[in-house]
Amino acid sequence: MTEALEGGGADGGPAWWQRGVIYQVYPRSFQDTDGDGVGDLAGIVQRLDHLHWLGVDAVWISPFYPSPMDDFGYDVTNHRAVDRVYGSMVDFDRIVEQAHARGIRVIVDYIPNHTSHRHPWFSEARASRHNRRRDWYVWRDPAPGGGPPNNWLSAFGGSAWELDPPTGQYYLHTFLREQPDLNWRNPAVEQEMLDVLRFWLDRGADGVRVDAIQVVLKDEHFRDNPPNPDYGEGVDDPYDALLREHSADRPEVHALIERMRHVVESYGERVLIGEIYNEVERMMAYYGRDGRGVHFPYNFQLIKLPWDARTLDAAVRRYEELLPPGAWPNWVLGNHDRHRIASRVGAAQARVAAMLLFTLRGTPTLYYGDEIGMHDVPVPPDRVQDPWEKNLPGRGLGRDPERTPMQWTAEPGAGFTSGEPWLPLADDFRAVNVAAQRVDPGSMLTLHRALLDLRRREPALAVGQWAPVDAAGDVLAYLRSHGGARFLVALNLGGDPASLAFDGAGEVVLSTIPETEGGQVEGTIDLRGDEGVIIRIA
């Protein structure tokens, strides 16, 4: 059994980011208001009523800063402005004002590790070895016999080093060659980038999601990374050929994160979330010494693990066990970098997955479109946008399929745009859209709204204790409780009927199969295939 709650709020109770549900908006694909086929900030303002109606507590907006879009905004040329394709700072201010008016918090993306190669800092840095900004990036001489300074690999394929012929040195890029890494060992870089953080907090952001936080500091000696003994040539992502011992997850990074936390905390109840793809044991270190790290490192286990009840049961138990004292958990089913849950597990299980996401202990993050069950959209080769797919085609790494336009209505353009959408619409958008699902009591959207509503009304589900329940086969079960209220969540992760012995009685308050709602259970819980239920224990 876990602690009732680890109050992070100003009054010692749970903070908004503990009680609440976060919704991720990928701004290119959410709502276009000017007909260019690309979503914009005015579109987010327009759709705040949807988010409010759905019942989310915060919106995290992926990057909207000026960018040549080599990595669709994760390559920034100005950290303190809005790209024209998305609108202007006036639109951002309206998001904050209008979201806050609806009780919705705003989280922005913060990208500390790298800039665009077109950032003015990098133009200066590459101008000469003696430029005052040279040391704002990571430069090294070629290896003694020529070639890259070490064996580090780029996340998007090939070496992490790019030769800059005019100055004869290599610069480091953990991601694209168009995304040179900043040198955070230079105090001027840290000072400037912490000021960027202050800039958005001053502007009204309620928190930040920190991009690629574990790679911000690298080994100061630039030692080669060791080979990964488990790597399967031709099978695995080539980035995994080496263990990233010296290029990521360095112990030094934690002191830096403490300084980020200090900035965020000086603004009161704001949140610092870290993007960390790593073993769950390693992830825990990011809560920091005495809880002075990120408020939570994103927990991607539900994205990475096989969809199997025993595997997930073990993973949830282990995660709960590993959490340091006072650390707040969180769960994620999808984001702009990973294939959609509906495609990974199928439409019926996606409903079960939603029930899991909103009933586990910790903050859930919902990816736009998952509330209507959007699936990955196949993108023909001539419409590929994602640089990862362009660099390593045909391996299923590309991220366009999970970034396609939000499906609002059955109209041409799906209510997303009056123009030609930047990525193709799903071919089923006329049936699968917000307008149709709002009025359908059996829809994915109705299920999401009911889950969020129940979570809001029942502190047991939002911030209560969690305890595992022993189950077998395809059934995953656990208890949530708070005060006198107790809920049993029983999820059938398989397509065949299954049952769970249950020493008590209760009422099914919510089911992924609506006609079973309201039923009384005693002794045994019988689940249909693909059914998940929330039972209020009498």
> DSSP letter string over 247-265?
TSS-TTHHHHHHHHHHHHH
- Residue closer to ligand GLC by CB (options 99, 155) is 155
Residue among 60, 110, 122, 175 that touches ligand GLC (CB under 6 A): 175
- Helix, strand, or coil (residue 271): strand
* Residue 337 interacting with ligand GLC (CB under 6 A): yes
- Residue closer to ligand GLC by CB (options 175, 239) is 175
Q: How far apart are CA 226 and CA 305, in angstroms?
A: 25
Is 517:534 a contact under the CB 8 Å cutoff?
no
- Residue closer to ligand GLC by CB (options 175, 286) is 175
Q: How far is the CB of 337 from ligand GLC (least distance, A)?
A: 5
Phi, psi torsion values for 511, nearest 5 degrees: -140, 155
- Among residues 467, 469, 465, 468, the alpha carbon closest in space to that of 482 is found at 465
Per CB under 6 A, which of residues 261..290 are in contact with ligand GLC? 275
Work out the angle at residue 527's Cα, subtended by the Cα atoms of residues 522 and 532, and round it to the nearest 5 degrees. Answer: 105
Count of residues that interact with ligand GLC, criterion CB under 6 A? 9
C-alpha distances (whole Å) from 302 to each of 43, 84, 88, 140, 208 are 30, 35, 36, 39, 22
Q: How far apart are CA 39 and CA 369, in angstroms?
A: 14
Which are the contacts of 255, defined by CB distance < 8 A and separation ≥ 6? none
Q: How far apart are CA 320 and CA 307, in angstroms?
A: 19
- Residue closer to ligand GLC by CB (options 111, 454) is 111
Neighbours of 312 (CB within 10 A): 20
Residue among 125, 212, 312, 534 that touches ligand GLC (CB under 6 A): 212
* Residue 237 interacting with ligand GLC (CB under 6 A): no
Q: What x-and-dash track marks residues 406-435 binding ligand GLC by CB under 6 A?
A: ------------------------------
Q: How far apart are CA 301 and CA 361, in angstroms?
A: 14
* Residue 71 interacting with ligand GLC (CB under 6 A): yes
Residue nearest to ligand GLC (CB): 74
Q: How far is the CB of 275 from ligand GLC (least distance, A)?
A: 6
Residue among 26, 74, 136, 152 that touches ligand GLC (CB under 6 A): 74
- Among residues 477, 478, 474, 479, the alpha carbon closest in space to that of 529 is found at 474
Per CB under 6 A, which of residues 80..139 are in contact with ligand GLC? 111
Residue among 32, 211, 458, 530 that touches ligand GLC (CB under 6 A): 211
- Residue closer to ligand GLC by CB (options 71, 400) is 71
Q: How far is the CB of 344 from ligand GLC (least distance, A)?
A: 18
Q: How far apart are CA 259 and CA 273, in angstroms?
A: 14
- Residue closer to ligand GLC by CB (options 240, 337) is 337
Q: What x-and-dash track marks residues 307-336 binding ligand GLC by CB under 6 A?
A: -----------------------------x
Q: How far is the CB of 71 from ligand GLC (least distance, A)?
A: 5
Q: How far is the CB of 195 from ligand GLC (least distance, A)?
A: 20
DSSP bridge pairs for 487: 480, 536
- Residue closer to ligand GLC by CB (options 74, 286) is 74
- Residue closer to ligand GLC by CB (options 274, 532) is 274
- Residue closer to ligand GLC by CB (options 103, 393) is 393
Which are the contacts of 95, defined by CB distance < 8 A and separation ≥ 6? 41, 44, 45, 48, 61, 106
Computed on alpha carbons and rounded to an integer, the radius of gyration of the chain in Å comes to 23
Contacting residues toward ligand GLC, per CB under 6 A: 71, 74, 111, 175, 211-212, 275, 336-337
